[in-house]
Amino acid sequence: MSTVILTLRRGEDGSAVLALPLVLRTRDPYADQWALPGGWLTAAESPVDAAARTLAETTGLSPSYLEQLYAFGAVDRSPTRVVSIVYWALLRQDDVTAQIAAHRASGRAPENVRWFDVDELPELAFDHSRIIDYALWRLRNKVGYSRVAQGFLPEEFTLAELREAYESILGRQLDPANFRRQVEAAGNLIPTDRFRTGSHRPARLYRDNTDVELADRGPLGPEETSTR
């Protein structure tokens, strides 16, 4: 049971980049290599609960989105053949930065956990590199027909911030004018009467319209997906 935990991190050049936490393995196989955080199913919990639990154990946070990715079980995956259910999750940008700041302040950061930008990943244990590729592919796909991208953002956000999230995920620039019209037409946003001020013309703040179903999981729906 592993999880690809994604968030948007602000790089030193000011642009947003996808990042994920990895854990350094302490025992064989693949000792001293980086791997996806994970754990084992206990008898009393469902896989999605176990994913949320291990996510909390490694990051101290609860995800804004959590969905099953795939069940891997090829015999050549690992010396001892293992079937692993992999999940993928999104964390809110502000949750992550707050948590990292708290760790720095308390001096009690979790050992053996490090955040990597997705374009600067180290060599990974098992087939975890391919799994991350698949998770990123799923995210890029899903962002086209679902409002998952809002899982990266705080409660209230501007359209420019949302567009930046889309651009980081998709890896290309989007036209601000057309982007605005598309997300407005999709009905995923509720405009507030508050504005982000500070530079140039103030930008209206929006928040997630939770009335609109994610509507992309089919009959599985909310039971198997965790949203916040």
Q: Is 141 in the site for a copy of itself (CB under 8 A)?
A: yes
Distance CA 10, CA 18 (A): 9
Nearer to a copy of itself, 18 or 205 (CB): 18
Neighbour-count burial of 49, counting CB atoms closer than 10 A to its CB (0-12 exposed, 13-18 middle, 19+ buried): middle
Distance CA 43, CA 95 (A): 30
User: Are 32 and 112 a contacting pair, CB within 8 Å?
Assistant: no
From 91-99, 104-112, 170-178, 217-225, give the range in contact with a copy of itself by CB under 8 A.
217-225
Distance CA 19, CA 168 (A): 11
Of 198-227, binders to DNA (CB under 7 A) are: 198-204
Nearer to a copy of itself, 23 or 86 (CB): 86
From 7-15, 25-33, 126-134, 165-173, give the range in contact with a copy of itself by CB under 8 A.
126-134
* Residue 216 φ/ψ region, left for φ over 0, alpha for ψ in the -120 to 50 degree band, beta for the rest: alpha
From 30-38, 45-53, 58-66, 176-184, give the range in contact with a copy of itself by CB under 8 A.
45-53
Pick from 70, 115, 116, 179 the residue near a copy of itself by CB under 8 A: 70
| CA angle centred on 57, ends 128 and 41, rounded to 5° | 65
Distance CA 168, CA 8 (A): 8
Q: Is 204 in the site for a copy of itself (CB under 8 A)?
A: no
DSSP 8-state symbol, 25: -
Q: Report how many residues bind DNA under the rule CB under 7 A.
A: 19
160 binds, among DNA, a copy of itself, none (CB under 5 to 8 A by kind): DNA
User: Are 124 and 37 a contacting pair, CB within 8 Å?
Assistant: no
Tell me how far, at minimum, the Cβ of 2 lies from a copy of itself, in Å: 13
Distance CA 195, CA 171 (A): 27
Q: Is 103 in the site for DNA (CB under 7 A)?
A: no
Q: Is 193 in the site for DNA (CB under 7 A)?
A: no
Distance CA 5, CA 1 (A): 13
From 104-112, 162-170, 201-209, 215-223, give the range in contact with a copy of itself by CB under 8 A.
215-223
What is the torsion angle, in degrees rounded to the nearest 10, for the CA atoms of residue 215, residue 216, residue 218 and residue 223? -80
Q: Is 143 in the site for a copy of itself (CB under 8 A)?
A: no
User: Footprint of a copy of itself on this chain (CB under 8 A)?
Assistant: 41, 43-47, 68, 70-71, 73-75, 81, 83, 85, 130, 133-134, 137-138, 141, 218-220, 223-224
